[in-house]
Amino acid sequence: MPPVSQDTGSNGMDAAFPGFARFVRMFWMQPILLHRLLRSSDVETDASWLALRRGTAAQRQYARYSLLMLVVLMPAFTFIVGFVLEADFAGVAFGVAFGVAGGVASGMAGGVAGGMGFGVAGGVVEGIALGAAVSVASSVASSVASSVAFGVTGGVIRGVASGVAFGVASGVAFGVAFSISFLRIPISVVEVTWLTICRTIERLWGRSTLPWCPVRYHDLSYLPLPGLRAQLLSPYADPEMLEDVLAACTRAPGQRRIARDVLAALQARELRDLLATNHLRAITGLRGRWLPGLAAPEPRLVQWRDFVAALLAAQIALGPRHRLQQVQRAERILEQLRTGLLTDSRFEAGEYLQTLETARRLSTAMRQEAQKLAAEQLPNPFRPDGNPLIPEFGAETFRGRADAARRIELLLSEQQAAAIALLAPRRMGKTSLLRMLPQMLPDTLCVFFDLQDHPLRQPLDLFTGLARCVHEQASAAQRPSLPTLAGDTLDDARTWLEALDHRPGGERVLLCLDEFERLEDLADEQPDTRLQLRRMMGLLRATIQHRRRVRFLVSGTATFDELGTLWTDTFISAQEVRLGPLAPDVAEALIHQPLPESEGFPSTTVPEAIAKAVLARTGGQPYLTQLFGYWLIDTLNESKRRTALLEDIDTVEELVCDKAGGYFRESVNPRGAEFDVRAAIEAIVASDAAGDAAVELSGEQKRFLVRRGLLTREGTLAFPVLARWLQDFA
């Protein structure tokens, strides 16, 4: 078979109207492609011929081609077939002509093969097969009936036998002919033979035969072609030609499953190549010739993306311990993939198993490297990046918040409906507590929703995002199915919350809104949404008052009276849970023994005197405590020592001031202040350094600084390291 002509694009179509020869070829073998081509030329194939005559130039050309085929080519073709068959020429010719004419007429009038076997070409084949089979069958039936009846007796019996035999034979012949014509078995036989020849050429001469692949020239291929998968996955295949053939396979009904299998196998091969060449970034975006991107990947590809994301996190981890944790997470995902593949009977499973081995070699090498580095250094469990602690990473250093979790549990257990407000200054551990709540409250579905990570275009988008997070986090926690949000109106949100409250099982649902003050920013930026925001807050208030199993927890830095009446009206009965610095004994223990000795952290590494000195500089502020701990252990590892000294504190403090500059700047320039906070803090620092009397602050100013975690209730700096930053780094 010759390759497709140059006027066809990569998908076999062009924008120009086909010439007559190509029209005839596509009419016979590629009616689906012809239909698409005609539609791209604005030809309505289901319009009447009269309308076509009045249409565009392409429509008129289509009408002329149709008429020429019906009047000239089809009768000529009928005569040739009848002449070749010879048997009962009149019956054959009549059957063929009737079938062909009917097929052409129905195909032209009803649309050129919109994917059905009864299209134009189907009518031609069916006409030939039916005409020939019925005619031959009627002759045979008549002869058999005559012979049988002659041996019995009488003209009546002979007539009945002849009629019955003719009917049975005609019915059988019709069924066989219909099946043969509909499935295009004669063409399939030729295609299988041709495909075998192509595969032989590939094996003997080592060249691709994809340009000659029969599926490129036949749309109505209903029977899967044996050997097609092997031809498509040949190592000699040109990628661009392979894309063309895969597109043709998706048009042919019988080859669509093959196209899916081959594409999945190609994706597995591409993943293997990217892993082997360490192009991990491309995998996280599922970018490649065969990979689908992040639009709608199948679950298995999502698992591969998560595996590679863990490896990338390991590559940029600040310490060997964190690197090892990320590699171990990647290996757990890889084990889940292996378990699924061992029970998968799909075609591509073998390719993915080979990819799995490549991935295993990569993760093993990274794990061995991380273990070697970890053995040479002290384990460093502290998190200096300021990101919240989560159960998978950071649980060892999450300390001192059990009382807050018990307070939340107690409020959830009360019969009186009330919202919960988790209030604390920035970097005090609010988000870490919310992320740890699912483990601390196992009988409650705790849904974390960060308004900073989910920008809202309008207030009602809150419920759309909440519903999505509820399903994602419930699925991850293997919770029962939850009701879905049917629309994006306020009534839809009310119905969804009601269904969530009345779902079977009685499990409580705690919807945690982190950084809730950002809803006020949305209204400020878009004043026309103020009314919508009020209506949404009204729904929140109604939910708080009337729902027992759906509760809201809002987390932020500002109190409701600071935000205004909109918030105080909505959360009028809210119960506050406040977070402050870590208790002195908790902070000291965290610095002194962040890990047990069994995990390679000797109790002599950070003496208690060093831990007390760190506490004196941080005041137990969680973020600063994490920073001091991390850089202290890092300093020991850099100097290859196993015990910290008092002189290390000054070195570590310089590193902390440098790394925490952004936090300090935000602390002395907080939002919502009605006085110069930085000037007040600098005055307090200068007064302490000179030994002067305490700086006079109004009661409102002092309350503001205490709420923001900058001053203690005694009027001293909450974390004295801030004074060092103001003096040397600000």
**Dihedral class, residue 139 (left if φ above 0, else alpha if ψ from -120 to 50, else beta):** alpha
Q: How far is CA 219 from each of CA 231, 265, 341, rounded to the nearest angstrom? A: 18, 23, 33
557 and 484, same domain (yes or no): yes
Is 533 part of any domain? yes
Is 263 part of any domain? yes
The amino acid at 49: W
408 and 547, same domain (yes or no): yes
E strands present in 233-325: none
What percent of the chain clears pLDDT 90, i.e. is strictly above it? 38
Instruction: Mention every residue, 6+ apart, whose C-beta is less than 8 A from residue 223.
Output: 183, 184, 185, 188, 254
39 and 148, same domain (yes or no): yes
Whether residue 420 contacts residue 551, with contact meaning beta carbons closer than 8 Å, is answered with: yes
Phi, psi of 717 (to 5 degrees): -60, 135
Answer yes or no: is pLDDT of 429 > 60. Answer: yes
More confident residue, 128 or 483: 483
Q: What is the pLDDT of residue 520?
A: 72
Answer yes or no: is pLDDT of 91 > 60. Answer: no
> Torsion over CA of 704, 707, 713 and 719, rounded to 10 degrees?
-110
Whether residue 107 contacts residue 123, with contact meaning beta carbons closer than 8 Å, is answered with: yes
| pLDDT band (50, 70, 90) for residue 51 | low
Range 304-325 average pLDDT: 89
Is 209 part of any domain? no
Question: CA 304 from chain center: how many Å?
Answer: 11
Q: What is the pLDDT of residue 414?
A: 77
Query: Order of strands across the sheet with 550-556?
Result: 444-450, 508-514, 550-556, 420-423, 575-578
pLDDT digits (tens, 9 = 90+) for 505-556: 778 899 999 988 887 776 655 566 677 888 888 888 888 888 888 999 999 9
HSE toward the beta carbon, residue 183, CA cutoff 13 A: 13
Whether residue 211 contacts residue 236, with contact meaning beta carbons closer than 8 Å, is answered with: no
27 and 125, same domain (yes or no): yes
Domain end marker among 183, 218, 242:
183
Q: What is the DSSP string of 201-238?
A: HHHHH----GGG-GGGG-S---SPPTTHHHHHT-TT--
pLDDT digits (tens, 9 = 90+) for 352-380: 999 999 999 999 999 999 988 888 889 99
More confident residue, 590 or 473: 590
Cβ neighbours around 665 below 10 Å, total:
13
Q: What is the pLDDT of residue 83?
A: 52
Whether residue 572 contacts residue 529, with contact meaning beta carbons closer than 8 Å, is answered with: no
563 and 611, same domain (yes or no): no
| pLDDT band (50, 70, 90) for residue 696 | confident
Range of the structural domain that residue 467 is part of:
401-578
Query: What does the H/E/C string look like for 49-78?
Result: HHHHHCCCHHHHHHHHHHHHHHHHHHHHHH
456 and 515, same domain (yes or no): yes
Phi, psi of 10 (to 5 degrees): -65, -20
Range 434-455 average pLDDT: 89
535 and 684, same domain (yes or no): no
Instruction: Mention every residue, 6+ apart, whose C-beta is less than 8 A from residue 502.
Output: none
115 and 60, same domain (yes or no): yes
Is 228 part of any domain? no
Is 3 part of any domain? no
Average pLDDT for the chain:
80
Is 247 part of any domain? no
What percent of the chain clears pLDDT 70, i.e. is strictly above it? 79
Domain end marker among 168, 183, 198:
183
Q: What is the pLDDT of residue 178?
A: 58
pLDDT digits (tens, 9 = 90+) for 385-403: 888 988 877 888 999 999 9
- Any idea how long the chain is? 730
Q: What is the pLDDT of residue 109?
A: 40
Whether residue 353 contacts residue 341, with contact meaning beta carbons closer than 8 Å, is answered with: yes
pLDDT digits (tens, 9 = 90+) for 616-652: 999 999 999 999 999 999 999 999 999 999 999 999 9
640 and 669, same domain (yes or no): no
Domain end marker among 183, 206, 222:
183
End-to-end CA distance of the chain: 78
DSSP assignment, residue 396?
A: G
285 and 434, same domain (yes or no): no
DSSP assignment, residue 255?
A: G
Whether residue 497 contacts residue 467, with contact meaning beta carbons closer than 8 Å, is answered with: no
CA–CA dist 420, 512 (Å, integer): 9
Continuous segment of H or E residues that includes residue 450:
strand 444-450
The amino acid at 671: R
Q: What is the pLDDT of residue 50?
A: 58
CA–CA dist 417, 574 (Å, integer): 9
CA–CA dist 186, 128 (Å, integer): 12
E strands present in 112-188: none
Q: What is the DSSP string of 638-651?
A: HTT-SS--TTHHHH
The amino acid at 565: T
Q: What is the pLDDT of residue 310?
A: 93
Range 432-450 average pLDDT: 92
Q: What is the domain count for the chain?
A: 5
Range 13-38 average pLDDT: 70
More confident residue, 416 or 675: 675
569 and 609, same domain (yes or no): no
Q: What is the pLDDT of residue 76?
A: 62
CA–CA dist 629, 383 (Å, integer): 9
| pLDDT band (50, 70, 90) for residue 6 | very low
Is 10 part of any domain? no
Question: Which range (9-13, 175-179, 181-185, 669-673) has the least confidence?
Answer: 9-13
527 and 483, same domain (yes or no): yes
Answer yes or no: is pLDDT of 197 > 60. Answer: yes
Q: What is the pLDDT of residue 280?
A: 92
For the ranges 6-10, 542-546, 671-675, 681-685, the maximum mean pLDDT occurs at 681-685
Is 385 part of any domain? no
